[in-house]
Amino acid sequence: MDTRFARLLLYKDQQVLRRLAVKADFKGSITIGRQGFGAVIDLPGSYISRKHAEIVVTDNAELMIRDLGSTGGTFVNSTRIEEAILRNADEIVFSTANDGYKLVVELLLPSPTDAKQATDKRQEGSGVVKPPMPKGMTVSGRDTSDIAKLLENKSEITIGRSQEADICLPQLTITRQHAVIKKYPNGKYTITDLDSRNGTFVNGKRIAQETDITPNDDIFIGSYKFRLTKPAEDIRRKNAIIADALNRKVNNGKTTILHDIKFRIPSQEFVAVMGPSGCGKSTLLKALNGDAPATTGKVLIHGFDLYENYDYLKRMIGYVPQDDIVHRELNVENSLYYAAKLRLSGDVTEEDIRNKIDEVLSNLNINDPEIRKRRVGDLSGGQRKRVSIAVELLTDPSILFLDEPTSPLDPETIEDFLLCVRGLTQKGTTVLMVTHKPDDLYYVDKVIFLSKGGYLTYYGSKDNYLEFFDARNVIEVYAKNGTVEQGIEWANKLRGLYPVSGEIHRPNKEVDKVRDESFFKQLFWLTVRYFNIKTNDRLNTLILLAQAPIIAGLVALIFDELELSVLFLMAISAVWFGTNNAAKEIVGELPIYRRERMFNLKIMPYLFSKILVLGFFSFIQVLSFVAIVFYTVGNDSVHMNNYWGYVGVMFYLAFSATLLGLLVSAMVSNTEKVMTVIPIVLIPQIILSGVITAIPEDSAAEIVSYGMLSRWGTESFGYVQDSIRSYMADPLCPDELIYRTVNAVEFLNLPGSFVHNAIDAFSLHDVMTVPQKLSANLWAITVLNVLVFIALVVAMKRKDSV
């Protein structure tokens, strides 16, 4: 008797490549995976995981497909699944980048229902008890509705991304072993977070230790919500965004630029935001994603208050501002790789990352080997914008905010770009896009119009806005939204025709701050990335390193004798190296910093990565500078006598100036202002060093000089050197100079100098053997460094959004 009840047809485009028959009593599994790894159905392409999915026959004689934690995902009839019962004519694809491969199901007689009934009768007649649910449950497959029942047969269950977990939640932001639920003999249930990066939440509160739970408690891991006795649900399927009475005020509350904005955006919709220039389109976008919160009102993301629960929700939000959020010096693949290392769970494998990069690039039609190896700065505007979106898609955001992404694109590129974005909504992403181009409306589902003054004048289908405004084209719509008075009139009409329900769910939950990301992991990857950025920018890096030998060579050409001016120029050069190296390093990547900070970036590892890399380049500059001066300036009687002492002091000065340069970079708003501020920082270092002219004691100039690195640096060089050459006019021959040897610090004679015994004051030997004699000048520099660093952290903190 023929016991076949199903057949699987593997298609490539419209051609059948393979046919597989499945019998009702089949006990094994049909595995799907990448070619070369032993799968029954092996598919080419790096987007296919080695063990991607499997098809089995259940005890109820039904055909079931199970995703095996693949990166690209398994889709049945365009819906991503973890497990699903297969029906006749179901179409299965593996990853969105499927290259035309699909698996089609044909169910044959006897039907699964008849088989199920027969199985049930056999079990009833034989007294066979169905076995308990096996390990590896997923949220959409086996019955996960009663976790408490699972704990009847064991004392604890694990939750995580791993297939070995009792409950598998397949998101890369979830750790493989994320949390554990225990049942104690007295009937008490507890949940413990297993030191996951993104946390476990109970009733909206992030837990830090073992926490008691009841059947009524809500548990949140990633985007999943479940209870002990209720099935897991993906909260991303709820309303994506609800804006409730948003108002945004500026100028200390004197000016309102958004007025009473209310609307609901369902999940998986593509919505455009349009309106005349200056109407608040970008402001609205930033209010909705937390970059610049509304002054009053609420934003609900999947039912949670964004501003109160930002740390929990931020991983579900993707945001691409008008400026690029990728470094132009890196190639496309490295840009995405470093972003994945900084954003994804710490235990994500290299293969997972590669597969994810393949997936997002394929989704955006830029998964081309040539593009992947090309520097971001060499890409076209459209390709560069897609790379920025790809960075955001690495974490599978449920909502993607795009601020005028089509502005720099040509018409041909725009169509292909918007089709890609449109495809994201079909894969589950909600997209909100600011645009000023009418043709973009052909690709969206709905449109929001704002008027001058920030009034919501229309929200609805893209097909109805002309009728609503009684306009023939979008140009007339813009004209009818050009004044505040018109905005008020249309906003009142909108509220009258399409009132937004006042019943908006506000969960009484406030998510605690997410535990800090790993300091050392962020520091490592930020440092590696920044070093690669500097070395990839070869021309600027070579110019930066060439400054030291050029300036040192000029000093050697001018000075034969070791004079005080040489020590002064060394101090000024060190201040210049550090300040100039760092002055553009934060402001030049401000959009990238702000976006990464919104997601999970910590300030300290970011700053230390800058300091480490810039310190490395400063050290190379100092080594070359001191080497040239050391061997060319001076004579047999007076010469530089402590090479490493000079290197130590000069490097410490350059390091200190690096902090000063970073502070300048953090305080200005664009790179053009850097060149305006740098002279204001450096010229006082020259004037108040005490070398060009004496500084009067007990004067304001003396007090200000205490804040000059050049003053303490020059004096510290004096301690290192001890003796220099000075000169005076010969009374008998005024045209000739008489050189004499003097004590460097006494000759400098700065008011407030700490020590007058130069060699004892500072040398590397003394520092190591007699710590109590460490130069007070270095302590003065250290105090300045502490003050500058505190100001730097405050300046960076002020750039935060929520």
Residue 536: HSE in the Cβ half-sphere, 13 Å Cα cutoff: 20
User: Cα dist. 326→146, 318, 389, 537, 667 in Å?
Assistant: 45, 14, 10, 15, 22
- 682-690 long-range contacts, CB within 8 A, separation 24+: 682/572, 682/575, 682/576, 682/579, 684/708, 685/572, 685/575, 685/709, 685/710, 686/572, 686/710, 689/568, 689/571, 689/572, 689/714, 690/714, 690/715, 690/748, 690/750
- Rounded to the nearest 10 degrees, the angle between the axes of helix 709-721 and helix 564-582 is 130
Distance CA 32, CA 39 (A): 5
**H/E segment holding residue 212:** strand 211-213
| Contact between residue 663 and residue 792 where contact means Cβ atoms under 8 Å apart | yes
Distance CA 708, CA 656 (A): 11
Q: What is the pLDDT of residue 326?
A: 94
Domain identity same for 597 and 539: yes
| Contact between residue 67 and residue 92 where contact means Cβ atoms under 8 Å apart | no
> Residue 771: is the preceding peptide bond cis (ω within 30°)?
no
Does residue 503 belong to any structural domain of this protein? no
Domain identity same for 304 and 412: yes
Domain identity same for 300 and 358: yes
Does residue 132 belong to any structural domain of this protein? no
Domain identity same for 525 and 662: yes
Does residue 510 belong to any structural domain of this protein? no
Domain identity same for 671 and 563: yes
Distance CA 224, CA 597 (A): 24
Does residue 511 belong to any structural domain of this protein? no
In 3D space, the residue among 354, 422, 436 whose CA is nearest the CA of residue 394 turns out to be 354
In 3D space, the residue among 48, 66, 73, 60 whose CA is nearest the CA of residue 24 turns out to be 60
| Contact between residue 725 and residue 563 where contact means Cβ atoms under 8 Å apart | yes
Domain identity same for 345 and 267: yes
In 3D space, the residue among 513, 206, 147 whose CA is nearest the CA of residue 193 turns out to be 206
| Contact between residue 653 and residue 577 where contact means Cβ atoms under 8 Å apart | no
Q: How many domains does the chain have?
A: 4
Q: What share of the chain is helix, strand, coil (3-state, %, to 5)?
A: 40, 20, 35
Does residue 802 belong to any structural domain of this protein? no
Sign of CA dihedral 26, 28, 33, 39: negative
| Contact between residue 112 and residue 61 where contact means Cβ atoms under 8 Å apart | yes
Cβ atoms < 10 Å from Cβ of 458: 26
- Rounded to the nearest 10 degrees, the angle between the axes of helix 381-393 and helix 332-343 is 20
Q: Which amino acid is at 464?
A: N
- Domain boundary (96, 126, 156) is at 126
- Domain boundary (191, 215, 237) is at 237
Could you please report the per-residue DSSP string of 49-101?
A: -TT-EEEEE-TTS-EEEEE-S-SS-EEETTEEESEEE--TT-EEEESS--TTE
Does residue 59 belong to any structural domain of this protein? yes
- Domain boundary (444, 463, 497) is at 497
Structure-block tokens of residue 110: 């006897």
Q: Domain range spanning residue 678?
A: 519-797
Residue 384, sorted as left (phi over 0), alpha (psi -120 to 50) or beta, turns out to be: alpha
Domain identity same for 11 and 110: yes
**Span between the terminal Cα atoms of the chain, in Å:** 68
CATH number of the domain that 106 lies in? 2.60.200.20
Domain identity same for 149 and 117: no
The most distant pair of C-alpha atoms in the chain lies apart, rounded to whole Å, by: 130
Contacts of 315 (CB under 8 A, 6+ apart): 173, 198, 222, 395, 397, 599, 600
Distance CA 241, CA 251 (A): 28
Domain identity same for 421 and 366: yes
Does residue 131 belong to any structural domain of this protein? no
Q: Provide block-wise average pLDDT over 10 residues at a time, the chain (802 residues).
A: 70 82 83 86 81 86 85 79 85 77 78 44 36 39 60 85 80 86 90 85 83 88 84 74 91 88 90 92 93 91 85 87 92 94 85 89 88 92 91 92 87 84 86 92 92 93 89 91 92 74 43 60 95 94 95 91 84 95 94 91 96 97 94 68 86 96 94 91 89 79 88 82 46 46 48 40 34 62 94 93 60
Residues forming a β-bridge with 375: 331
In 3D space, the residue among 54, 75, 76, 74 whose CA is nearest the CA of residue 65 turns out to be 54
Q: What is the pLDDT of residue 96?
A: 65
Q: What is the pLDDT of residue 332?
A: 95
Distance CA 272, CA 259 (A): 19
Does residue 509 belong to any structural domain of this protein? no
Domain identity same for 392 and 457: yes
Domain identity same for 372 and 421: yes
Domain identity same for 261 and 409: yes
| Contact between residue 385 and residue 320 where contact means Cβ atoms under 8 Å apart | yes
Contacts of 162 (CB under 8 A, 6+ apart): 69, 168, 176, 177
CATH number of the domain that 262 lies in? 3.40.50.300
